[in-house]
Structure 1
Amino acid sequence: MARRTRAGFTLTEVLIALTIFALIAAAGTAVMGVSIDSRFTVKAASERLAEVQRMRALLKADVSQAVARPLAGGDGLVPLRTRAAVGADPTLVLALTRTGAGAGLDEDGSGLIGIEYHLVEDRLERRVRPHPDAPGSGVVQVVATGVTVAEASFVALGVDTPVFEPRLRQTMPDAVRLRLTMETYGPLDQLLLIGSGR
């Protein structure tokens, strides 16, 4: 008598195939999880870099449009100030008067506004007053977080100095050197030209 063979798979073959498919599915899920985590990590790093780039753009715009106008509350001579100045606010990083305010941003139509940068806790704040002599802190904008150190100094005739004193032939320094230490990026050193530089 002839034995009939059945077509199909045995139970053992089916279990082995299911195990292989389960391993492939688990590997695929792990790869998807890693790629999603990587995506969020890249997004967070991109946002942090964008914050630094926005901060640099604001600083560059403010410093490049600084004008030789004495600051309020000073000695009536100094157009730029840092915390190194006598009697300055200890949170002050840089104070200046800038032009190019645009329509409606300045109070008196002069095109001049007062700008101050302060380090408050771990935040670098930009304070904008509608007039250079306006009282109060003005509009406060947080331009960077995670800042542990922020120091500004001035470069005039190739010399780096913490306090700028205007002279007859040089009413403004050539540049502002800004040294920041950020939790994410570590030390950042920026040299920002005033006006068109020399």
Structure 2
Amino acid sequence: MNGLKHQGFTLIEIMIAVAIFTLIGIASTSVMTAVIDSDKLSENRFEKLQTLQRAMLTIERDLLQAVPRAVRIEGQENSQVMQGEKNLLESEADGFAFVRTGWQNPQLMLQRSTLQSVAYRMQEGKLERLFGNYVDNVVGFEPKVRVLLSNIEDFQVQFLLNADEDSADSESWDDSYAQDTLPVAVRVTITSQDFGVIQRQFLMSTEDS
């Protein structure tokens, strides 16, 4: 018994152990914070991508259901079935308007047509879709506005008039349109702060409805 010595940890050893565990804790916290931040960025990016997909599907649906029906701009009656030009409808870039079919009205329960007047414009960095309950809106009508995309730097719309022209030639596309027939195709170019330049071309149905 007299030859045995009871040894414990010295103060220095305890301080070194505490320091090591503290460093491990700090490193673990940093890694966890980085993972959480990365996850938030990925989630935010995914949400923006979903918003972009919904916006492009909305534009595609509207254009593919466009019909040769006169569209009224600010309630003014005319024979033009699609109108598009810079600053149309107070757009800060291009704007265009037309009439689409396929607006659901099951069993005609609502007192409105299945046709709908729609328009697109850019204001305050937002791509907006304008629409109303009635296809022929009167003077003074204030359209309903739905924001499709934010952080938009530019919005351009071009129109292909002749199917025989080479669609790859930029000169075959017009920057403005106001005629009593639908164009052969519509090209939409969106410049986004989040995704850069996005361009889609939509082949229009030119058959009379």
**TM-score clears 0.5:** yes
Deviates more, 1:68-77 or 1:26-35: 68-77
State yes or no: 1:25 paired with 2:13: no
Does the Cα contact within 8 Å between 1:64 and 1:196 map onto a contact in 2?
no
RMSD over equivalenced CA pairs, Å: 2.8
**Which residue does the alignment assign to 1:163?**
176
Shift of 1:53: 1.0
Inter-CA distance 175–139: structure 2 relative to 1 (3 Å threshold): same
Given the alignment, which residue of 143, 156, 177 partners 1:138?
A: 143
Shift of 1:141: 0.7
Distance 1:112 1:180 in 2: 26
Inter-CA distance 115–40: structure 2 relative to 1 (3 Å threshold): same
Inter-CA distance 195–123: structure 2 relative to 1 (3 Å threshold): same
Shift of 1:108: 5.1
**2:79 aligned partner, one-letter code:** L
Shift of 1:110: 3.2
Distance 1:189 1:111 in 2: 29
**Which residue does the alignment assign to 2:191?**
181
State yes or no: 1:95 paired with 2:97: yes
Distance 2:6 2:133 in 1: 91
Q: What is the count of residue pairs matched by the alignment?
A: 192
Q: Deviations over 1:101-133 (max 9, x none)?
A: 001799754310000112111111111122221
**Which residue does the alignment assign to 1:127?**
130
**3-state SS of the aligned residue for 1:14?**
helix
Shift of 1:75: 7.5
**1:43 aligned partner, one-letter code:** E
Does the Cα contact within 8 Å between 2:129 and 2:146 map onto a contact in 1?
yes
Shift of 1:179: 1.2
Q: Deviations over 1:36-78 (max 9, x none)?
A: 1112211221121121111101101101100011212467332
**3-state SS of the aligned residue for 2:66?**
coil
Deviates more, 1:4-13 or 1:112-121: 4-13
Which blocks of at least 5 consecutive residues in structure 1 are unaligned?
none
Inter-CA distance 196–72: structure 2 relative to 1 (3 Å threshold): closer
**3-state SS of the aligned residue for 2:89?**
coil
- Per chain length, whose mean CA-contact separation is higher, i.e. which structure has more relative contact order (CA < 8 Å, sep 6+)? 2
Distance 1:72 1:175 in 2: 21
Which blocks of at least 5 consecutive residues in structure 2 are unaligned?
none
Shift of 1:194: 2.2
**2:49 aligned partner, one-letter code:** L
Name the % identity. Answer: 27
Deviates more, 1:36-45 or 1:54-63: 36-45
- What TM-score do you get using the length of structure 2 for normalisation? 0.80
Does the Cα contact within 8 Å between 1:78 and 1:164 map onto a contact in 2?
no
